[in-house]
């Protein structure tokens, strides 16, 4: 089986995982009222992190690992540059949720209660990330069709 095919398939299927995980985390954060719902947030956050890892690894491999059109194509493709800019924005937006949820994980492991008062703000951030993921897919489609090259 062709490695390019497998890596591309994983990269594309990760959209389903990432979109679902992002939606799950936003919903879990929006519903979070007390300590009981923290586990749902942590589970969804694990899936969101897994999707991010898969996207980054397979994306870098495809763009710069000699599997696809070559790095010169990607680095001179406006759709790719927009796509990566959106990724950077998502990553920047992720800083507060990531740090906060990491603190929640530590407190949860120690059996301590968690202050969930920031959950609505984190939910809004996650919904924004979800919208940006959709725009990333639009740019990926533009790349595949040669739009904005």
Q: Pull the structure tokens for residue 57.
A: 């690894």
What own/partner pairs with CB < 8 Å and gap ≥ 24 does 24-30 have? 24/48, 25/97, 25/126, 26/123, 26/126, 26/127, 26/130, 27/123, 29/119, 29/120, 29/122, 29/123, 29/126, 30/119, 30/120, 30/123
pLDDT at 148 over 90: no
For residue 1, pLDDT over 80 is answered with no
Query: Average pLDDT over the chain, rounded to whole?
Result: 94
Reported pTM: 0.91
In the chain, the percentage of residues whose pLDDT exceeds 70 is 100
Tell me: pLDDT of 77 over 90: yes
**Predicted pLDDT of residue 2:** 92
Task: Read off the pLDDT of each residue in 53-64 and give the average, rounded to a whole number.
Answer: 93
Whether the per-residue pLDDT at 144 is higher than 90: the answer is no
Taking the domains of the chain in order of start, what are their residue ranges? 3-145
């Amino acid at each position: 089986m062709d490695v390019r095919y497998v890596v591309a398939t994983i990269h594309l299927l990760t959209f389903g995982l990432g979109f679902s995980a992002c939606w799950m985390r936003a919903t879990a954060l929006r519903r979070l009222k007390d300590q009981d719902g923290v586990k749902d947030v942590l589970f969804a956050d694990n899936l969101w992190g897994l999707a991010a890892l898969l996207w980054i690894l397979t994306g870098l491999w495809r763009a710069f690992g000699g599997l696809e059109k070559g790095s010169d194509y990607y680095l001179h493709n406006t759709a790719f540059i927009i796509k990566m800019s959106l990724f950077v924005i998502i990553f920047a937006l992720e800083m507060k949720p990531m740090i906060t949820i990491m603190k929640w994980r530590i407190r949860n492991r120690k059996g301590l209660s968690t202050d969930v008062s920031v959950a609505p703000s984190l939910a809004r951030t996650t919904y924004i990330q979800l919208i940006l993921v959709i725009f990333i897919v639009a740019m990926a489609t533009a790349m595949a069709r040669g739009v904005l090259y």
